[in-house]
Amino acid sequence: MPYVVQELSAHRDLAGFRTLVDCSFKATVLREGPAQDSGPGAAWLAYLCPVHSVDLDGWPGTADHADNGSMPCGTVLDYRSPEERLQSHADLWLTPLTGVDPQAYGGAWADVLDQAGRVLLARVEAAAGEDSPLQNMLAMMDVARRAAARGDLGVAAASLGYCETLAQGL
């Protein structure tokens, strides 16, 4: 019998790996995200501890499955398209942090990320001398921006995954 993750993901390749929350506990629940728009299987799978399984804004699941601590709390296996992952980043942290709304750019992710990078740079410059996660985010935002300009939205989404982890420290 296949492992539950293989069943829930419909044996698809993993598209992204994210750390949703900063938590030192092991998961007791595997939350199954909604079904994929483009085929079978869950859009994402999130490993959560008892505290985070109760209330996790932006990550409503369709079902919870018991887990024996196989992953740290907050680990997310993401099976969505690059565009869907980019939109998820925008919804959860990028737009709240930068004020840059992808809707204003008509889906041109290179432009969205370019403007978000400018906002982050301005915030870092305004906090001259302060040590902040924003400084480290700039390098990965630059990778995301350049990748999106080349049309490689998968690399852009992966780079934003790193930024998402850093944004938790803000």
Interval 36-65 mean pLDDT: 79
Of residues 107 and 149, more confidence is placed in 149
CA–CA separation, 126 and 142 (whole Å): 19
Is the pLDDT at 16 greater than 50? The verdict is yes
Query: CA nearest 144: which of 115, 113, 168, 112?
Result: 113
Interval 104-130 mean pLDDT: 91
- As a whole-number percent, the residues of the chain with pLDDT over 70 amount to 93
pLDDT band at 1 (very low <50, low <70, confident <90, very high): very low
Distances (CA, A) of 108 to 31, 56, 87, 111, 163: 31, 29, 11, 6, 19
CA–CA separation, 26 and 28 (whole Å): 7
Is the pLDDT at 155 greater than 80? The verdict is yes
Interval 16-45 mean pLDDT: 85
Locate the domains of the chain by residue range.
4-78, 82-167
